[in-house]
Chain A
Amino acid sequence: MIKKCMFFFLFSGYLFPQNEILIQNISGTEANIPMVYIPSGSFTMGSDKTEMGHFGDEGPKHVVSLDAFWIGRLEITWDLFNLFVSREIDQNQIDKSDDNETNTDVDAVSGATTPYVEMSFGMGIDGYPAICMTQLAAVKFCEWLSAMTGNFYRLPTEAEWEYAARAGSVSAYSFGNEVTQLNEYAWFSENSDEKYHLVGTKKPNAWGLHDMHGNVAEWTLDKYLPTAYMKRKKGVSNPLQESTRIYPKVIRGGSWMDSPKRLRSAARRPSSKKWKRRDPQIPKSKWWHTDAPFVGFRVVRPVKAPSIEEQKRYWNYELIN
């Protein structure tokens, strides 16, 4: 049904440049999450040495095929993330039903601690992207959102993220190779005034996604492995570099702090425990990166949800502290 619908949108691309959108409401709040349909398909992941700013971990280029999924049109904002931190609307969890993709009990989802430090660093809350959360916190937000809505949510895999960011393009950026155009599409070091900005205020890519380049870099599910692409066989589908270790995980898209090369569709960056450098507590927080005001995330909902047993794989139940 969904695929049929998509078919229509793809063919009428000139009239309707953006993909189908589904709004995910959450009971107990007016905040919602617009999700954009991304059709199944294949794309070329990574970049060539000839691309300006190319780094060794982006090669070799290889073809990846992916199943269809929905991805957030916008980065998750503080308005949304704070619902997970405060857990004040948990009593509005959707009733359990066989029609749900998941029936996780919201009480069973671990909660982030309230940070002692003010984590937006004065850059804004309402409509601004949430930052400084650990990958674990971003993953647990997805689990919480799943429990609240009955739909299965998780972080994008690195491949899904790049596929969605490219939106059919093969250039350094989704709009082409010209850095001079970046200002229309992204918040980055040269135009950000040293802070993040309201989500969705720059032009979207061809699939209607905002801020894939810049504003805040975004968590993916994958472990960072510089040689990941070298190990991939031809025609890999739905790749995911799983890991039970906290570090390093991949973030994508670059941020308000970064120079243009870090915003490229192919650019990869590993997370680091240095991002907790100024956390004055021991043990350092599992939930907050005091020194990562550049990292946020957006969520993904696969069109075909995994089985209940398989879902936990995506929610870090195997993570070693």
Chain B
Amino acid sequence: MKMKNKNKNKNQTNRKEGESRRSFVQKTALATSALLTIPLGVEAMANVRGDKKLKLALVGCGGRGSGAAVQALTADQNVELVAMADAFGDRIEKSLKGIQEHFDGEKKINIPEKHRFIGFDAYKKAIDMADVVILTTPPGFRPYHFEYAINNDKHVFMEKPVATDPVGIRKVLEMAKVAKAKKLNVVVGLQRHYQSKYIDLKQRIDAGNIGKIRSGQVYWNDAGVWVKKRKPGQSELEYQMRNWYYFNWLCGDHILEQHIHNIDVANWFIGEYPESAQGMGGRQVRNGKDHGEIFDHHFVEFTYPSGAVIASQCRHIPGTMSRVDEVFQGTKGSIEIGKGEITDLEGNSQYKYPKKWGEDANPYQVEHDKLFASIRSGGVISDTENGAKSTLSAILGRMATYTGKKITFEEALNSQLHLMPESLTWDSTPPSLPDTNGNYPIPTPGKTKFI
């Protein structure tokens, strides 16, 4: 087991104060595990329980990461932001300014110059300094950052999706087991799981209020997201890192990056992951040189082991019908989550979620409240496996629309598709390159092969 000296010392110092009957029991349990040789978990937990100051590192300093940092610093009275990492220095400066302004002088931020780490390897230095890490880079990096964080005994908040390819998924699934064995808390930013409306409705589905789910429709249809234009002097790699939404190795297409939320709700409410998918998609409107290689619409039919069929549609086209929602039909009735309403087979209202707009607690805050409460109390939240499998479900959908073939979950899980390079430097060649006219190769159904 490799381990940094600094960590070793820290763990040794803390062993005494953290030693408890509980940690003894856990250590014993670990020792009996033949598969796992990871003795650090208990110490990692002992390290942060109780009132001890928790050190926080932010890896990926975009708007969402900065927002997550603020939520983490709000969730617990004794958390300090001690390290920030990003591929770009300007992102760190902007993020730090935003976080500082939010707290307006409160002493939760300890980021002198030497705690700001820039570049592709920066994440390691930032993670080394922390007890809890926020992983919010573009999703392609997530498996590698998560692996490092778990191997170094950190509690994790990571944004969805957790990978862009099956190689990454397999890594995250492997690390999910390690994290669990180490009793590390991992919260994945599929925040609907932390939103009271969804939790309330899910309980009613489990109680059988609409019977067994047979079909459903999940949507993320809207006008699309930001575009970053190419700037003079940028290398191809820097351009792609800045305009990352449009490159699959970094983003995974909007069916993954955004629509995962809705596909994940289908998985959660049905209680299964899809068995197979087939579908269609393309880029009809958002097809310029600034728009990389991703589609602007996908329509996928997911079939579940129980026979339930979910129609999943996501579209990024301005001027078209907008809807972000999940709807399910069961053997006894239907549910519309947007409306918060359950109806019987005749369409009569049976239940209406009582809270009005804005009365629910902010789920982005709740996910951090739960994470830190669990760390303090010695609990274990393990969102990783679901995060990985819902990520894979969306990747499966993308594979179906890109190839035009029917693909199974098993095939996707075992796929050799490897979009994300193992390691990157600013001299690396990005996986996707434009032709002489500046256009990128676009997936073509019927021609693009399943790998």
Contacts and interface: CB of A to CB of B under 8 A. Distances in A.
A283 B101 contact: yes
Given A122-B338, A283-B66, A82 B223 contact: yes
A247 B258 CA distance: 31
Interface string A86-126: 10100000000000000000000000011011101110010
Contacts of B339: 194
B99 interface: yes
Contacts of B224: 114
Nearest to A292: B358
Given A114-B224, A280-B364, A120 B319 contact: no
Given A118-B220, A277-B362, A282 B67 contact: yes
B225 interface: yes
A282 B98 contact: yes
Contacts of A304: none
B329 interface: no
Contact of A282 (B99, B223, B322): B99
Interface size class of A (residues with CB under 8 A): 20 to 34
A57 interface: no
Most buried by B among A85, A114, A282, A284: A282
B450 to A, nearest CB: 30
Contacts of B95: 282
B102 A282 contact: yes
B364 A125 contact: no
Contacts of B358: 277, 291
Interface in B55-77: 62-64, 66-70
B318 A283 contact: no
Nearest to B70: A282
A257 B70 CA distance: 30
A283 B98 contact: yes
B225 A282 contact: no
Contacts of B69: 282
Interface string A263-302: 0000000000000011111111000000101000000000
A282 B101 CA distance: 10
Most buried by B among A279, A280, A281, A293: A280
A113 B98 contact: no
Most buried by A among B67, B98, B223, B338: B223
B324 A280 contact: no
Contacts of B222: 118
Contacts of B102: 282-283
A50 to B, nearest CB: 30
Nearest to B258: A116
Contacts of B322: 118, 120, 122, 125
Contact of A278 (B98, B221, B227, B364): B364
Contacts of A279: 67
Contacts of B319: 82, 125
Contacts of A117: 324
B207 interface: no
Interface string A226-246: 000000000000000000000
Interface in B93-124: 95, 97-99, 101-102
Nearest to A195: B339
A194 B191 CA distance: 24
A86 B320 CA distance: 13
B356 interface: yes
Nearest to B61: A282
A122 B99 contact: no
26 contacts: A82-B319, A86-B223, A88-B318, A114-B223, A114-B226, A116-B225, A116-B258, A118-B221, A118-B222, A118-B223, A118-B322, A118-B324, A122-B322, A122-B323, A122-B338, A194-B339, A278-B363, A278-B364, A280-B68, A281-B62, A281-B66, A282-B67, A282-B70, A282-B95, A283-B102, A291-B357
- Across chains A and B, which 6 residue pairs bring their CB atoms closest together, nearest first? A281-B63, A282-B66, A118-B222, A283-B98, A282-B98, A282-B67
Interface of A: 82, 85-86, 88, 113-114, 116-118, 120-122, 125, 194, 257, 277-284, 291, 293
